[in-house]
Structure 1
Amino acid sequence: MSSYCLSRPVRLFLWCLIAGITLAGGAPARAQAVPLSLDEAVALATGQSARVKATEAQADAARQMAVAAGQRPDPVLKLGINNLPVDGPDRWSLTRDFMTMRSVGLMQELTRADKRRARAARAAGEADAAAVAQRQVTAELQRDAALAWLERSFQQSMRELLVTQRIEAELQLQAAEAAYRGGKGMQADVLAARTEVETMHDRIAQVDRMLAVSTIQLGRWIGDAAARPVAARPAFAPPPWAEGDLAMHLTGHPQIAGATQQVALAQAEASIARAERQADWSVELMYSQRGPAYSNMVSLNLSVPLQWDQKQRQDRELAARQSQVNRAAAELDDLLRAHEAEVRALLQEWQSEAGRLRRHDEKLLPLARQRVEAALSAYRAGSGSLTAVLEARRTEIDTRMERLRIEMEISRRWAQLEFLDLAVPTAASPARHQIADAPRSRP
């Protein structure tokens, strides 16, 4: 059974667990020899990313702020000396003048419950938005790491294919040289075979360059582990939601969920603005001590802001917040349409490339192989030329290389769809199966 029958979080957890056991066992040399699978590369990239750690910290900070936002303001402690004489016989005395008081008081703003609920809802929305941002960063990181791994894998496959063809070309050169020395061949055939060998060396050098670049790009995500050989590619099965209601599943996309949270935040801001139309009262209790010859005093004060121009201030702010809700809702709708079109285009491209892959497997590759065999038979029978054989081999190589490029395009579409991180209902998630359109092993 393919490991892709498991959910991606389970696969990543298993790979992180395996990596931890390997490190704890102190076997770095053996770990270097183990082929690097796609799941392991994605798990390593997720575990090593500073961006993921930063978004985790941001989400935790937002959750902490959500708790604080629903609380009342702190009370205010007041200490003071009132009516202290600065001249005359009682100057600077705290006890002789009957008006001099040493005061201590507490003031508390009585924030309305609906305001505190609205502010708590806004902070909770910010925490949810931070969690969605963390999901988005993780999904983008995993997608980019998967694309880098796939690029490395296909470059490695292309090199293996070209090396195999180079060996065949070298054998063909040896046969041509032997025939020429025996007087049964022409020098032109030897030169043609030698040219073919050098051409294969040049193509391998080009692939080596791209393989080195792809290794560096993979190392951007997983560090030194990029130097390990890559394991076999997984089956590129369509995502489980491809046949369902795409618009419904897209609501789980991190960017769509983030835009949805922006709508919720705008609504929370509007609720706060609506609550601000009712002013908050403040209460102050003060105890004042005078000289021993006079009585002490207690003061109780209430205060409230006077909203003189509510139509031009509070009502305007509420209208602005409601307009921001409309803006966020319109942006959400536009983003949903854009993502739906993008995903449908990816699925259409996948189907088109899958059709080309079938054509190569069923028609073009067998025809190219038959052409090589026919040219070889004619050359051995003396009725054909070595040039025809070499040309037929080049056609077969080009056909196989094109097939690899087609499979590479399919794998890229697969990675872009696989790591969208859509919220798919568990009961509706079918198991993934290997499909003929994207074979598991390298050609």
Structure 2
Amino acid sequence: MRIFYLAPLLAAIPVAALAEPMTFDAALQRAAANAPSLQASEAGVEAKRSTAIAAGRLPDPTLSVGVDNFPVSGPPAFTLNGDSMTMARVGIEQAFPNPAKRRAQRGRAQADIGVAEADLAVEAQNVRLETALAWIDLYYAKRRLAQLERLDESLGDLQATVSARLASGSARPSQALEPEQLRAAVKDRRSELEADVAKAQARLARLTGDPDADVSGEPPVLEVDGTALRAHVASLPRLRALDAQARAADADVSLARADKRPDWRVGTSYGRRDPAYGDMVSVTLSIDLPFFAKRRQDPLIAARESEASRARLMRDAGERDVLTALDSDLADHAMHHQRLMNARQTLVPLAKRRAELDMASYAAGKLDLGSALLSTLAEAEAEVDALSREADVARDAIRINYTYGEMRP
């Protein structure tokens, strides 16, 4: 949870080192150490812990200074002499909230810490998940782009073949334009893939703090165990956050109930009179009298109890939502895996075989160049599509394990 304490160490790393490509694990560690949202959440936890120190403490004493029994009528009116009751007074008073209220205040402060820590855990999980997905997206976007560039390179050899056939008179002049048309189509597709690379790099840079974020190494191979994930749903940060909110609501109930118990105050004062008379000392004890609880404290207690009941119901609803989302994600993962297998075992081999046959037919003069080139483009698109499907499977595994599991960088 506090892995971003590594931030000072990473700050000492030269900029050139930060600009180097990152492995999957390195990207997670760097995001955990540099994400501002995590540092903000940690500051929130520290703020709640500082607040808890003062919770349940006695309030500050009250100092009072005044003049008592100053005459405003009769012979001694508006004078300080000649009246035995006029005196300068200085006093101090201390309030003592009832013990139940002080315990409830301490309990509410601890509940606030729990809520802040749960929010930090949720944010840490979100940062890990977003970083992992950004790394995966960049990795596969670059692979798809590289696959398309290989097709572009192969078009150079094809152009040479067409030029040779034109020179021998076995090809029409218009056929010299067909490789260029295919290159234009490939260029459009490359622009799309370059945009995907740029967007994935921007996401990874935002999360890791590296403006030149890049990837290196291979993605992790993660197994998806639905049974094990369902068994640990209750420990997920999202549900622990709802548990913390329910405990905070229960603390509010205790605090509202404590208001039905009387608080009390003790005060003492010293009165200085004319030297002809003696000084005085006073002691007071004040106690609150909650006689009208049915119209004051009880409605507030009922409201807090309703809020606590709502928090517990929201926790139950949250668990159902998580289980439903997990089942949905598992179904998508199974579907994406089947689509990947279909691409690898059927679609790509068929597209490759068709391209080979069409190029052979073109070489034998049985097929026009345009059709042969379209088959070549279809093969490249099949390869790129297979990589997209592989990326979908990898994204599913990352999202499921980092959302419903206990994954750590």
- Confirm or deny a common fold (TM above 0.5): yes
The residue matched to 1:419 in structure 2 has which SS? Answer: helix
2:381 is the alignment partner of 1:402:
no
Please say if 1:333 is aligned against 2:319: no
| Change over 3 Å in CA distance of 1:236–1:139 after alignment to 2 | same
Tell me if structure 1 keeps the 8 A contact 2:98–2:263: yes
- Unpaired stretches in structure 2, ≥5 consecutive residues: none
1:227 maps to a residue whose letter is D
Asked if 1 retains the 8 angstrom alpha-carbon contact of 2:24 and 2:220, the reply is no
Structure 1 residue 407, shift from structure 2 partner: 2.1
- Partners of 1:198 and 1:423 lie apart in 2 by 47
Taking a change above 3 Å as real, the CA distance of residues 160 and 18 of structure 1, as seen in their structure-2 partners, is farther
Q: Using the alignment, how far apart are the partners of 1:152 and 1:145 within structure 2?
A: 11
Cα gap change, 1:249 to 1:197, in 2 (>3 Å): same
Query: Post-superposition shift, 1:341?
Result: 0.9
Equivalent AA in structure 1 for residue 22 of structure 2: L
Higher mean C-alpha deviation, range 337-346 or range 366-375: 366-375
Secondary structure (helix, strand or coil) at the match of 1:184 reads coil
The one of 109, 125, 130 aligned to 1:144: 130
Size of the aligned set, in residue pairs, is 409
- Deviation (angstroms), 1:96: 4.3
Tell me what 2:274 maps to: 291
Q: Which residue of 147, 150, 163 maps to 1:164? A: 150
- Quote the offset at 1:118 in angstroms: 1.0
Code of the aligned partner of 2:109? A
Aligned position for 2:227 = 243
Select the residue among 283, 287, 310 that pairs with 2:293: 310
Of the structure 1 ranges 124-133 and 300-309, higher mean CA displacement relative to structure 2 is found in 300-309
Identity of counterpart residues, as a percentage?
Answer: 27
Q: Distance in 2 between matches of 1:423 and 1:96?
A: 83
Distance, in Å, in 1 between the alignment partners of 2:324 and 2:21 is: 37
What do the CA deviations read for 1:235-278 (whole angstroms, capped 9, x no partner)? 24135x633151x5222323222211111111111111122111
Deviation at 1:380, TM superposition (A): 4.0
TM-score w.r.t. length of structure 2: 0.89
| Alignment deviations for residues 335-378 of structure 1 (CA, whole Å, 9 cap, x no partner) | 11112211221122112111221222223222322333333444
197 and 18 in structure 1: CA distance in 2 versus 1, 3 angstrom threshold: farther
The answer for unaligned runs of 5 or more in structure 1 is 1-7, 433-443
Q: What residue is the counterpart of 1:181 in the other structure?
A: 167
* Counterpart Cα distance in 2 of 1:218 and 1:263: 35
Residues 202-234 of structure 1, C-alpha deviations (whole Å, 9 max, x = no match) = 3223322333343334433344x3434321341
The alignment's C-alpha RMSD in Å is 2.9
- Which residue of the other structure, out of 351, 355, 370, is the alignment partner of 2:334? 351
Distance in 2, matches of 1:422 and 1:408, equals 20
Q: Distance in 2 between matches of 1:152 and 1:67?
A: 46
Residue 235 of structure 2 aligns to a residue whose secondary structure is coil
TM-score by length of 1: 0.83
Pair 13,161 (structure 1): closer, same or farther in 2 beyond 3 Å: farther
Deviation at 1:117, TM superposition (A): 0.9
SS at match of 1:303: strand
Q: CA deviation at 1:399?
A: 1.2
Distance in structure 1 (CA, Å) of the matches to 2:9 and 2:190: 35
Contact 1:286 1:299 (8 Å CA) reproduced: yes
Aligned position for 2:118: 132
Aligned AA (2:383):
R
**1:42 alignment counterpart:** 28
Amino acid paired to 1:122: R
Q: Is contact 2:205–2:213 with CA below 8 Å preserved after alignment?
A: no
- Looking at structure 2, the residues matched to 271 and 328 of structure 1 have their Cα atoms a distance apart, in angstroms, of 15
1:438 maps to none
Residue pair 2:269, 2:281 contacting (<8 A) in 1 also: yes
Query: Does structure 2 retain, via aligned residues, the 8 Å contact 1:353–1:409?
Result: yes
